[in-house]
Structure 1
Amino acid sequence: MPTLNVDGIEVEVEAGSTVLQACEAAGIEIPRFCFHERLSISGNCRMCLVEMEKAPKLIASCAMPAGDGMVIHTKSEKVKRGREGVLEFTLINHPLDCPVCDQGGECDLQDQYLYYSGDDNRYEEGRRIVAKDDFGPLVKTVMTRCIHCTRCVRFADEIAGVPALGGIGRGDHMEITTYKEQPFASELSGNVVDLCPVGALTNKPYAFTARPWELKSTETFDVHDAMGASVRADARGREVMRFLPRVHEDVNEEWISDKTRQAVDGLKYKRLDTPYVRKDGVMKAASWDEAFDVIAQKVKGLSGDKIAGLVGDLCDMESMYALKGLLGSLGSTTIDCRQDGAKYGGKHRVGYLFNTSIAGIDEADAALLVGTNPRKEAAVLNIRLRYLSKRGAIASVGEQENLTYPVLDLGDTVKALEELLKGKGDFAKTLKAAKKPMIILGSGAVCHPDGATILKLAHDIADKFGMVKKDWNGFNMLHHAASRVGAMDLGLVSDLGVNGILDKAASGDIEVIFNLGADEFDSARLEKAFVVYQGHHGDEGVKHADVILPGVAYTEKPGTYINLEGRVQVAPRAIFGPGEAREDWTILRALSEKLGHTLPYDNLAELRNKLVLEFPQVAKVDQLPKEEWADFGVAGTASETPISNIFRDFYQTNPIARASKVMAECSTAYEGAKFVAEAKATNG
């Protein structure tokens, strides 16, 4: 390990580190525009210049490997003049439009000019103007401001895996643009806004709406998929204006998906803000007492087997626990969270967790994907699989789509898994030779008609190829719903399943349905039942509801979630909900009193205490569980039905996203365009 002297400070760094990293290890900040810890080194902005003894000129510290015995000066007069010169050149063509730039107040160029610039500006020639480019619905471009750091280009190539950006022209005519004037079609495109050190790339939907000093920030978690990415909600008054990523190395690093970032306007539209009761076939606004009275009248004298509950994909642990308690007090144990028809049960936790952990993907050297498109189901997790593809093989069983990395197609039926279990094929040899292989089952696998058989085959494949060892568990379930693991932990599964509940409701065997934010099914099957819908958006679930109880969205309540790894995440309230909307658990607590079965807690602290007593894992916040390997799945003969992916449109997967005008625009621009292109290709 090399040892350097940085401004008189002795510092030892790992082999392969750069001088810039050595300076930071010594506690000295080095300015930079092009360098980013997660991107390859380009060394083209020269802002990180430092002086190295015995070197004929200043060196770019980001591109110079740290060597033993180096003596580095970062505060000498020579370094000061060098940085001043770099900033002077950087500002030659940069427009001085800070007052109208959305990056104002958060701009690296502003900050570094304040601390490192001189007072001279000797450039008198005319500035160049660059035409605006269309990067798509999410990224606004003012390329005259671009300083050619190429962070966006490297992100597109190396992280997103969509090489849509590049530089054209030379010298004064160089421009960063998209190829063939196509939009930047990636589920991660918004991250280039965070990477851009100037105002060349900004958040298009957020443009000209707020300044950073007007906003109140709340650290919370994302619910648009099951990863639970760490995010920051920036709000003004009672409106969330934007979401930004927070660094969590073990989950999302510092990236978030475009749905996480841009579906924020969906929190404003199609909101439920007052109770409703169906009268003479028409939904009419009502008071809370009136709505509760109608429910009480319907439930009165009804046996528990006539009552059932459905749980949606965005629910927090507190509301699900309260619903389970309410139904239990009414004598019902029929409650289910598996709207997609997944065939896994709740007996063995190891059978429905992402046991490798998200960060653990970085240790794997081979992977088998079954019935999943991680690019749509967990876009940020797909980044790590892209890293994995560069050091090991990835194969897939199921419908094939572009995952941004090479994938070996093993077929789209269960037969491919049976052949693999027998050790047939080249990929079987790859798995056998791998030290840390892993398997990832997606919703397309467990929602298949033979989902239980697929689960058993996956279990046996994990056993056969050594995917589960003392220090490694390579069996993983890739959920798409933020509430799913928490609901499974609470035991919100029934023998009937959601489809069975819907069938019994259609036949009249189940008369009352408590629907807690479930919107991902055909609600017409509930036409005969008495439906109490509790949620925050007027989506599919309200179409055949008899009573609507307005809840609040995830940003408007404190709530506990468990991500796909089993990691407990406690989110605070960022803003208050609209109108008469209330926290879901408080609605259920008030309703229980009206029904004569008062739930045994009066505030959130008491509820959480009871939740932890019954389910101790909820107390282990931000910790990874380790579950014992067990036998699960059902052995059987599988059909020839193809395994298909559950998501068709990344931008329309939940009520918030479907209410978002921005997501609708993305769906038209990307998914619609893809459909047209595929149709043209099919029709010649």
Structure 2
Amino acid sequence: MSAQPTPAAPDLLNIEIDGKPTQIRKGAMIIEAADAIGVPIPRFCYHRKLPIAANCRMCLVDVEMGGRMMPKPQPACATPVAEGMKVMTRSEKALKFQKDVMEFLLINHPLDCPICDQGGECELQDVSLGYGRSVSRYTERKRTVADENIGPLVATEMTRCIQCTRCVRFTSEIAGTYELGGMNRGENLQIGTYIGKTIETELSGNIIDVCPVGALTNKPFQFKARAWELTAKPSIGYHDALGSNLWLHTRRGEVLRTVPRDNESINECWLSDRDRYSYQGLYAADRVSAPEVKRNGQWQATTWEDALSFAAEALRKVPAGELGVLANPATTSEEGDLLVRLARGLGSAHVDHRLRQLDFADGAVAGTFAMPVADVAKVRGALLVGSNLRHEMPLLNHRLHQAVKKGAKVYTVNPAAFDFNYKLAGEAVVAPQSLVDALLGLARAAVNAGASAPAALAEAIAAASSDQGDADAVAQLKNGPAVIVLGELAVTHPQASWLRAIARFIGEATGAAVNELPVGANALGLARAGVLPGNGGLDAQAMLANPRKGYVLFGVEPPYDFADGGKALNALLGADSVVAFAAFASPTLRDVADVILPIALLPETDGTLVNVDGVPQQVQAGTKLPGQARPGWKVLRALGGLLQFAGFEFDDLAGLRAGMAEVSTRPGAVGLATRETVSGLTRLASWPIYRTDAVLRRAEALNAHPLNRAPAARMNADEAARQGLVADAAVKLGQSVLPVVIDAAVPDGAVWIEAAHDLTATLPAYGATLTLSKA
């Protein structure tokens, strides 16, 4: 009896590749089916995440349909499968065409593999080994292409380019910025920006990964090492709470570059420039490599025993209840747990990691996304509140960009007209003091559509006015899967409790999920570990507004990491004792601290970070520590043991983890911040994409990027005229003098002054009323 073909499911087709039967979904291309069963087909232009171009022709295969051979080989990347199709990838005709294409592709390639950074991991090398000739028959002069300088992150050698257009398709379809393109035709075709501009997308490093030759390479890594010299260590990104998976490529314990590690549910196969290039900051000149203590006003390097004894004595002198513990929100969960144990042993309930939060009326802490990251690409509607999502979480914004390409509509309520890489269906741009009112308009539209307002918001919603745009946004959120994203400018807003409450109501009224962006890579993990004020404890802002006599700073760099840097500096300078666990010793930290205990950064230590989907991701040290620096958990264990506190008896990380108890994150209190009438000019304070933490502020290539703008007072032309100012005029704020930049993105009543610069770190907080004076 002959074997009968397996009947296919309604959306599956039966095909055969090199004699191997398989089933594949309708609409799939031959190359997808071949990849699924492990049949290799050479390719250059095809990439599973990019639109099909079919312009390299390397993947030509023989195809038989209905018992008849197609007269010409077909490109496997652009030929859809059909029922009963038979594909031959290694037939005589297919191999002849593949080898001919390979010969054509190498005609103009410079064959400079010995000096090319891509050598050893180059797709062109790999494929030419299998399909190329040993000697070129081409004797004519090769063409050359002049290089463009496209910025500090990506190096170009466009003579090597084979015009696969992967980079062009990436910038247009994934980054959404349309910055690269093809110019001229035929043998004169060149890929570039035409005018030699810097590539400004926050995802630009991915064009290095998709480039199959050495035309686009990593500029900071250029000529540093060969691929076979590097050791790959798995790690995760720690500059936002997405937790992108990545590989650290190290040589002799030093990180030389970073590349993405595939994880479809988190970062797919992409990596933001922030996570890719930040490793440069690990090796900054002010990195602390030995413990230091301040005696008689002078800093001196010392031994660990002396430094720990000094720190223990300083902490013992702080009266009970007068110690504040402030942790960086990227601190690992293990270190956070030990900080809580240390504070408990010292009799303090004043512990917090929410350094940039201004409104604590509802006791808010970071929580898991209501809609997983992977599902954001499937939404039909989205509302962004107080969010410059491209800068706050670039790869979450990428998911939303993919949704817009499929027809999703995005609405925003923002304190500035941010530059999105997709078209908005509706946009409300208002000064920070009007953000709550603008969101109340949407809530009013939801009530008009039949929702019942909660008692706490009923009066405010009734007093709000809404327009047709609000009604359209609410209708779109009701129309299928939708998400409301509360961005960093909402979470750190002085009336964040109102924005959270209104967003939750709109979510309930429309069925939309509410995703609140955590501020800090491990804000969720630290909330679970209980790095929060205990009974009667003060939150981060209260600890600074009511200064303590002593502070423990863990991974915190004053004044840059605080919502109100000036207030933080005053509190720390006035304290009797400040014990700093730090990787870097800035001049300001040296001014406020009494002892500096050098600790590891995330790529150098073992630990756990919890991402926005609530997934704990454990990492192991991927590189060696400088000098005498030690992992933070080991330093805390030694200090707690010296103080003879309970909970520090473990021997290793496994013992520490065994004793960790997850604290159920407390539900938000029902309180809402007092709404005060604000008049005059208010400050919009956003954290620049490449200055959100100490490592990024020291990454040289990122600091040279155009997205890292110089500090300035930005306002629109009408507001500048009302203030009697013109472009490039100098204004004085406190001790800082800033240039005026006319920016149409800023609404009336606001001045946009980015935080975390030397000139802006101590200025009044986000939402504060400012008085500008001519310098």
TM over 0.5: yes
**1:12 has 2:23 as partner:** yes
Q: Percent identity between the aligned chains?
A: 34
Kindly state the Cα deviation for residue 159 of structure 1 after the two structures are TM-superposed.
0.5
Kindly state the Cα deviation for residue 654 of structure 1 after the two structures are TM-superposed.
0.8
Aligned to 1:156: 171
**1:528 has 2:574 as partner:** yes
Kindly state the Cα deviation for residue 59 of structure 1 after the two structures are TM-superposed.
0.6
* 1:496 maps to amino acid: L
Aligned to 2:236: 221
Aligned to 2:671: 634
Determine which of 35, 40, 60 is the counterpart of 2:46: 35
Aligned to 1:23: 34
More helix by share: 1
**1:467-509 deviation line (CA, Å, top 9, x unaligned):** 2xxxxxx11111241121111112222353212111222xxxx
**1:108-160 deviation line (CA, Å, top 9, x unaligned):** 00000111223452211110010011111111000000000000000000001
Aligned to 1:305: 321
**1:202 has 2:217 as partner:** yes
**1:671 has 2:720 as partner:** no
The DSSP-based 3-state class of the residue aligned with 1:549 is strand
**1:267 has 2:282 as partner:** yes
Aligned to 1:552: 600
**1:414 has 2:436 as partner:** yes
Residues 610-629 of structure 1 aligned to structure 2 (within 5 Å): 610-611=659-660, 614-615=661-662
The DSSP-based 3-state class of the residue aligned with 1:297 is helix
**1:538 has 2:549 as partner:** no
* 1:587 maps to amino acid: V
Aligned to 2:523: 484
Kindly state the Cα deviation for residue 226 of structure 1 after the two structures are TM-superposed.
1.1
- Specify whether residues 368 and 572 from structure 1 end up closer, same or farther in structure 2 by C-alpha distance, changes over 3 A only: same
The DSSP-based 3-state class of the residue aligned with 1:2 is strand
* 2:390 maps to amino acid: R
Q: Is the 8 Å Cα contact of residues 652 and 663 (structure 1) preserved in structure 2?
A: no
- Separation (CA, whole Å) in 1 of partners of 2:627 and 2:668: 49
Q: Is the 8 Å Cα contact of residues 230 and 245 (structure 1) preserved in structure 2?
A: yes
Residues 239-638 of structure 1 aligned to structure 2 (within 5 Å): 239-269=254-284, 270-300=286-316, 302-343=318-359, 352-390=367-405, 391-398=407-414, 399-407=416-424, 408-412=426-430, 413-423=435-445, 424=466, 425-431=470-476, 433-467=478-512, 474-494=513-533, 496-505=538-547, 510-519=548-557, 520-521=561-562, 522=565, 523-525=568-570, 526-529=572-575, 530-539=577-586, 541-598=589-646, 599-611=648-660, 614-615=661-662, 634-635=671-672, 638=675
Q: Is the 8 Å Cα contact of residues 358 and 541 (structure 2) preserved in structure 1?
A: no
Aligned to 1:658: 697
The DSSP-based 3-state class of the residue aligned with 1:35 is coil
- Separation (CA, whole Å) in 2 of partners of 1:493 and 1:277: 28
- Separation (CA, whole Å) in 1 of partners of 2:372 and 2:662: 21
**1:592-649 deviation line (CA, Å, top 9, x unaligned):** 12223252322211101011xx1189xxxxxxxxx99x77653466456699875342
User: 244-253 or 47-56, which moves further after superposition?
Assistant: 47-56
Q: Is the 8 Å Cα contact of residues 453 and 637 (structure 1) preserved in structure 2?
A: no
- Separation (CA, whole Å) in 1 of partners of 2:603 and 2:543: 30
Which sections of structure 1, spanning at least 5 residues, go unmatched? Answer: 468-473, 618-626
Aligned to 1:80: 95
The DSSP-based 3-state class of the residue aligned with 2:232 is strand
User: 14-23 or 281-290, which moves further after superposition?
Assistant: 281-290
- Separation (CA, whole Å) in 2 of partners of 1:228 and 1:24: 28
- Separation (CA, whole Å) in 2 of partners of 1:332 and 1:451: 27
- Separation (CA, whole Å) in 2 of partners of 1:368 and 1:542: 43
Q: Is the 8 Å Cα contact of residues 291 and 303 (structure 2) preserved in structure 1?
A: yes
How many residue pairs end up in the alignment? 660
Which sections of structure 2, spanning at least 5 residues, go unmatched? Answer: 1-11, 446-465, 717-726, 729-740, 745-775
* 2:597 maps to amino acid: L
The normalised TM-score by structure 1 is 0.92
- Specify whether residues 344 and 232 from structure 1 end up closer, same or farther in structure 2 by C-alpha distance, changes over 3 A only: farther
User: 126-135 or 444-453, which moves further after superposition?
Assistant: 444-453
Kindly state the Cα deviation for residue 406 of structure 1 after the two structures are TM-superposed.
1.6
User: 262-271 or 519-528, which moves further after superposition?
Assistant: 519-528
- Separation (CA, whole Å) in 1 of partners of 2:695 and 2:634: 22
**1:182 has 2:200 as partner:** no
- Separation (CA, whole Å) in 1 of partners of 2:346 and 2:545: 21
**1:107 has 2:122 as partner:** yes
- Separation (CA, whole Å) in 1 of partners of 2:478 and 2:334: 45
Kindly state the Cα deviation for residue 283 of structure 1 after the two structures are TM-superposed.
1.9
- Separation (CA, whole Å) in 2 of partners of 1:677 and 1:74: 61
- Separation (CA, whole Å) in 1 of partners of 2:714 and 2:53: 38
- Separation (CA, whole Å) in 1 of partners of 2:304 and 2:421: 50
Determine which of 63, 68, 72 is the counterpart of 2:78: 63
* 1:551 maps to amino acid: I
Kindly state the Cα deviation for residue 214 of structure 1 after the two structures are TM-superposed.
0.8
- Specify whether residues 387 and 659 from structure 1 end up closer, same or farther in structure 2 by C-alpha distance, changes over 3 A only: same
Q: Is the 8 Å Cα contact of residues 293 and 307 (structure 2) preserved in structure 1?
A: yes
Q: Is the 8 Å Cα contact of residues 337 and 492 (structure 1) preserved in structure 2?
A: yes
User: 195-204 or 172-181, which moves further after superposition?
Assistant: 172-181
* 2:45 maps to amino acid: C
* 2:656 maps to amino acid: L
Aligned to 1:623: none
- Specify whether residues 76 and 616 from structure 1 end up closer, same or farther in structure 2 by C-alpha distance, changes over 3 A only: farther
Q: Is the 8 Å Cα contact of residues 182 and 190 (structure 2) preserved in structure 1?
A: yes
Q: Is the 8 Å Cα contact of residues 261 and 269 (structure 2) preserved in structure 1?
A: yes
Aligned to 1:621: none
User: 85-94 or 179-188, which moves further after superposition?
Assistant: 179-188
**1:236-257 deviation line (CA, Å, top 9, x unaligned):** 1121111100000000001111
Q: Is the 8 Å Cα contact of residues 129 and 144 (structure 1) preserved in structure 2?
A: yes
The DSSP-based 3-state class of the residue aligned with 1:202 is strand
Kindly state the Cα deviation for residue 180 of structure 1 after the two structures are TM-superposed.
2.3
The DSSP-based 3-state class of the residue aligned with 2:709 is helix
- Specify whether residues 272 and 81 from structure 1 end up closer, same or farther in structure 2 by C-alpha distance, changes over 3 A only: same
Q: Is the 8 Å Cα contact of residues 337 and 531 (structure 2) preserved in structure 1?
A: no
- Specify whether residues 114 and 673 from structure 1 end up closer, same or farther in structure 2 by C-alpha distance, changes over 3 A only: farther
- Specify whether residues 485 and 372 from structure 1 end up closer, same or farther in structure 2 by C-alpha distance, changes over 3 A only: same
- Separation (CA, whole Å) in 1 of partners of 2:129 and 2:573: 65
Kindly state the Cα deviation for residue 549 of structure 1 after the two structures are TM-superposed.
0.4
Kindly state the Cα deviation for residue 565 of structure 1 after the two structures are TM-superposed.
1.9
- What value does the CA root-mean-square deviation take over the aligned residues? 2.5
Q: Is the 8 Å Cα contact of residues 95 and 145 (structure 1) preserved in structure 2?
A: yes
- Specify whether residues 331 and 436 from structure 1 end up closer, same or farther in structure 2 by C-alpha distance, changes over 3 A only: same
**1:152-205 deviation line (CA, Å, top 9, x unaligned):** 000000001111100111111110011422111111101000000000000011
Kindly state the Cα deviation for residue 303 of structure 1 after the two structures are TM-superposed.
3.3
**1:64-94 deviation line (CA, Å, top 9, x unaligned):** 1111121211111111111110010000000
Q: Is the 8 Å Cα contact of residues 249 and 256 (structure 2) preserved in structure 1?
A: yes
* 2:538 maps to amino acid: L
- Specify whether residues 26 and 644 from structure 1 end up closer, same or farther in structure 2 by C-alpha distance, changes over 3 A only: farther
